[in-house]
Amino acid sequence: MTEPLSPAALFDLEGRVALVTGASSGLGARFARVLAAAGANVTLTARRADRLEALAQDLGGADWSAGDLSDAGYREQLVEHIARQHDRLDILVNNAATNDEGPLETQSLEELESVVDLNLVAVMDICRLAAPLLFASKDASIINVSSMYGVVASRGPMTAYNATKGALVNFSRHLAAQWGRHGVRVNALAPGYFPSEMTGDLADPDFVRSIEDKNLLRRIPRIEEIDGPLLFLASNASSYVTGHTLLVDAGWTAI
């Protein structure tokens, strides 16, 4: 019988190459810190160069590249940069996203398109461009950051956000089916409301109470409660898991 790996070895990312999009703040910055702490060589990308530079320094000189992922030209430059630096990509965390507000009937086409371009088109295109680098890895893992609103609908009006996060769930399933033969695992990570810029860092007491009322644990999450799910999907701990959506929502979607 094969001896079980130690828990530390299961989650060890030493020497692996990771790319985290939307890494300048919120969950993206947290994801970058967690992967780096587990030993990964992390490249950070987002639009805000000052924040990326500060985070890179905190991580001991991590690689970073600032740009707009809605720009197809920048996406090509980013993947070319990873290729020049590493010749492979082991962990791709597609986290960059934006939100829309207001009823659909009052929104402009431009507003809807901007959300779809960043939340969905950019994710598919980065996967497309990075395919040769991912295929060159022995342990490739793509983590598409969806949302619990990719599984159930929000009551608040954010049509394009709901649509794109739902699309990411099925895109992850589809790509897992296509790329399993290359050894690439593809999963979706679907958080509930975590402290971030997008959620106002959960500073609004009324908002906090509404979250507490609707989830099964009756509390808001601590930011570190996303660390384990991310590491699970990124590491050998999930080596036989693909095409899965991991909800981290305190049971919001369970009932």
Q: State the DSSP string of 79-129.
A: HHHHHHHHS--SEEEE-------S-GGG--HHHHHHHHIIIIIHHHHHHHH
pLDDT band at 162 (very low <50, low <70, confident <90, very high): very high
Query: What SS3 class is residue 10?
Result: helix
pLDDT band at 171 (very low <50, low <70, confident <90, very high): very high
**pTM over the 0.75 mark:** yes
**Active-site annotation holds for 161:** yes
Residue 87 confidence (pLDDT): 94
**Residue 253 counted as domain residue:** no
**Residue 153 counted as domain residue:** yes
pLDDT band at 199 (very low <50, low <70, confident <90, very high): confident
Instruction: Indicate the average pLDDT of the chain.
Output: 96
**Residue 254 counted as domain residue:** no
**Residue 255 counted as domain residue:** no
Residue 196 lies in domain? 7-248
Can you say whether the dihedral through the CA atoms of 67, 184, 29, 115 is positive or negative? positive
Q: Please tell me the total count of domains within the chain.
A: 1
Backbone angles phi, psi at 198, to 5 degrees: -65, -30
**Residue 89 counted as domain residue:** yes
**Residue 187 counted as domain residue:** yes
Strand ranges inside the chain, DSSP E? 17-21, 41-46, 63-66, 91-94, 141-145, 185-191, 245-248
Residue 159 confidence (pLDDT): 97
Neighbours of 114 (CB within 10 A): 15
Place of tokens 């509390």: 219
pLDDT in tens, 43-56: 999 999 999 999 99
Q: Which of 149, 161, 193, 240 is catalytic?
A: 161
**Residue 141 counted as domain residue:** yes
CATH number at residue 206: 3.40.50.720
**Residue 137 counted as domain residue:** yes
